[in-house]
């Protein structure tokens, strides 16, 4: 089968299209015939091995997994022992090992039935970013109807889902984005949109009950200025901060500071699971959430897709059509 593989860390030049063996399904796993995948900043981190702290998970000297890509949508091609929920031919989406390929292996607890209202391309745009938004708002932000919620990076992969999910929970949503993305964020249902090139949310009323930061480049003190005295800040990721720690140092500072202030400063790592994928499927099929699609690349053009992701601020999800 054709797949995008890498045997060392580096820029997009390390990604090579090769003909490799089809993976074998194991106990508790499903083999997926990939119809579509999507690329996001997490794939870039694994490709480059940055920050270095991440190599404790990715692989110290080289990637543990040769094939890149995590988000997937496709048909079940085979099921392993102890898998009862899925059958050959089922349409699924979720998180797998190596989705930039014609076939990929996924744990059965990390996939779910594909939303009936979405194409495979659209479904591939949902898993990691959709679950990040859902877990950040629902589980860490504890959002409730009537609250004021601010979404930073509202036009990005996580942010575009977060705006819609927050609206589905009955909150009043303000999105922060650049000038070119204002109309996109407004079309997602945001009650207000702040163009960060013109205004600073921290200088404007009101203070927010929940802030979800998916952009990762503002200081804790800046974020806290826009937060209500008993509000909750959720940091869902971080960029910058150097090659060793990236944005993790900011998350660590939030954890250490939180017990000493009235505001709740929280961080988290997304945990892929079929229950949350199913929750997203229900929101999507109910018409409350939809993925925002940006550019689409062929499997052979994954290096170009990763350069596009690296450039920053892609409007909508970056798809890989297999």
Judgement on whether residues 118 and 134 belong to the same structural domain of the protein: no
The per-residue pLDDT for 224 is: 96
Judgement on whether residues 133 and 101 belong to the same structural domain of the protein: no
Domain holding 159, by residue range, is 129-267
274 within some domain:
no
The per-residue pLDDT for 247 is: 64
Question: For position 61, which CATH number holds?
Answer: 3.90.180.10
The per-residue pLDDT for 55 is: 87
Question: For position 203, which CATH number holds?
Answer: 3.40.50.720
The per-residue pLDDT for 160 is: 95
In the chain, how many domains are there? 2
The per-residue pLDDT for 315 is: 74
Q: Is the pTM of this model over 0.85?
A: yes
285 within some domain:
no
The per-residue pLDDT for 56 is: 86
Judgement on whether residues 118 and 143 belong to the same structural domain of the protein: no
281 within some domain:
no
Distance (Å, whole) CA 76 – CA 32: 5
Distance (Å, whole) CA 173 – CA 190: 5
Judgement on whether residues 142 and 263 belong to the same structural domain of the protein: yes
158 within some domain:
yes
273 within some domain:
no
Quote the tokens at residue 175: 């999105």
Judgement on whether residues 120 and 62 belong to the same structural domain of the protein: yes
Strand duo 227-235 + 208-213: pairing: parallel
276 within some domain:
no
Average pLDDT per consecutive 10 residues, the chain (322 residues; last block may be shorter): 97 97 97 97 92 86 95 98 97 97 98 98 97 97 98 93 98 96 96 97 96 85 96 81 67 84 93 98 98 95 95 83 94
Distance (Å, whole) CA 118 – CA 71: 15
């Amino acid at each position: 089968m054709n797949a995008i593989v890498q045997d060392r860390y580096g820029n997009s030049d390390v990604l090579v299209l090769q003909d490799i063996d089809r993976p074998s399904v194991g106990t508790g796993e499903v083999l997926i015939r990939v119809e579509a995948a999507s690329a996001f900043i997490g794939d870039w981190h694994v490709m480059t091995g940055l920050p270095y702290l991440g190599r404790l998970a990715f692989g110290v000297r080289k990637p543990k997994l040769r094939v890149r890509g995590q988000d997937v949508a496709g048909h079940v091609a085979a099921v392993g022992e102890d898998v009862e929920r899925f059958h050959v031919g089922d349409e699924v989406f979720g998180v797998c090992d190596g989705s930039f390929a014609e076939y990929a292996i996924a744990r059965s607890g990390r996939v779910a039935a594909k939303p009936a209202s979405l194409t495979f391309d659209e479904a591939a745009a949902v898993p990691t970013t959709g679950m990040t938004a859902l877990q950040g708002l629902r589980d860490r932000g504890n959002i409730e109807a009537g609250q004021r919620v601010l979404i930073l990076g509202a036009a990005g992969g996580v942010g575009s889902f977060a705006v819609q999910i927050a609206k589905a929970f009955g909150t009043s949503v303000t999105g922060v984005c650049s000038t070119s993305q204002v109309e996109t964020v407004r079309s997602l249902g945001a009650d207000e949109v702040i163009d960060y090139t013109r205004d600073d949310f921290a200088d404007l009323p009101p203070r927010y009950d929940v802030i979800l930061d998916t952009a990762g480049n503002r200081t804790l003190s800046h974020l806290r200025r826009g937060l209500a005295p008993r509000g909750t800040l959720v940091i869902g990721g971080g960029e910058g901060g150097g090659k060793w720690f990236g944005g993790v140092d900011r998350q660590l500072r939030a954890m250490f500071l939180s017990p000493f202030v009235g505001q709740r400063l929280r961080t988290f790592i997304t945990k892929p699971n079929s229950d949350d994928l199913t929750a997203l499927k229900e929101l999507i099929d109910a018409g409350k959430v939809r993925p925002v699609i940006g550019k689409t690349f062929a499997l052979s053009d994954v290096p170009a897709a990763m350069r596009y992701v690296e450039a920053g601020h892609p409007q909508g999800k970056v798809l890989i059509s297999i």
